[in-house]
Amino acid sequence: MFFKIIFLCVLAVSTADVCPETNGAFAAYLRHETNCNQFYECNWGQKVLFNCPAGLYFNTKLNVCDYPDNVECIKDEEIPDIDEPEVIESTCPETNGPLAAYLPHETDCSQFYECDWGNKILMSCPSGLYFNPKLNVCDYPVNVECGLKQQPDVEDPEVEEPEVEELNCPETNGILSEYLPHEKYCTLYYQCDWGRKILMYCSPGLYFNTKLNVCDYPTASGCVQK
């Protein structure tokens, strides 16, 4: 079983539309040709398509998904909304590719499968989150189109939780990006941008490691899910 560990220190995005043939010390990214909400990550000469969370654009200067007001991007072609329901593949591919493949659970929105050489391995999102098959992350229920056939176990919202010290971003950006852990979920974290906290997601099955500033294996992350 393979997990993709995402290193958060990256090179400046290239304005060209061709990926370098080999991977360097840091990941390389390309802007999408027409859609401000999408971008490419380069993997040994291949362009792998990624989507920003809804309402955000890819910022080529910071290599993050950012608010549209902060991004110099104009959509050359608006992608029309398609009313047809999205068909999600229900079987795993027989072989593993460069990136892990995931499938939604048949009845439980809080669970999903990771594909490993044709086998479906059952995984669970943290309490209160649903699996988002469009982004392949555990996400807030309001952001997920799920049939809600079975609600995940969620703690009573009326129960008061211990107050967590809020961490703030520095007012100015430095040479390297600054990151903060999420107040509650190990699978989420913040990237700092001129004093603002931008919510980011780890890939399914990974936790944010505050010492290395990467999405890491849960046992190595040092994070305990609340």
Count of structural domains within the chain: 3
Separation of alpha carbons 65 and 31, rounded Å: 11
Per the domain annotation, does 24 fall within a domain? yes
pLDDT at 75: 60
Give me the residue label for tokens 């990550």: 41
Q: Which residues, at least 6 apart from 41, have a Cβ–Cβ distance to it below 8 Å? A: 27, 28, 29, 47, 48, 50
Q: Which of 2, 1, 5 lies closest to 203 in space, CA to CA?
A: 5
pLDDT tens digit string along 9-56? 333 344 457 888 888 777 788 888 888 888 888 888 888 888 888 778
**Domain containing residue 182:** 170-226
CATH label of the domain that carries residue 114: 2.170.140
pLDDT tens digit string along 111-137? 899 888 888 888 888 888 888 888 888
Per the domain annotation, does 209 fall within a domain? yes
Alpha-carbon distances of 68 from 47, 55, 116, 180, rounded to whole Å: 23, 8, 37, 22
- Shared-domain flag, residues 6 and 53: yes
The count of C-alpha atoms lying within 13 angstroms of the C-alpha of 214, restricted to the half-sphere facing its C-beta, is: 13
Whole-structure pTM over 0.75, yes or no? no
Per the domain annotation, does 213 fall within a domain? yes
Separation of alpha carbons 145 and 108, rounded Å: 12
Last residue of a domain, one of 119, 151, 183: 151
Per the domain annotation, does 158 fall within a domain? no
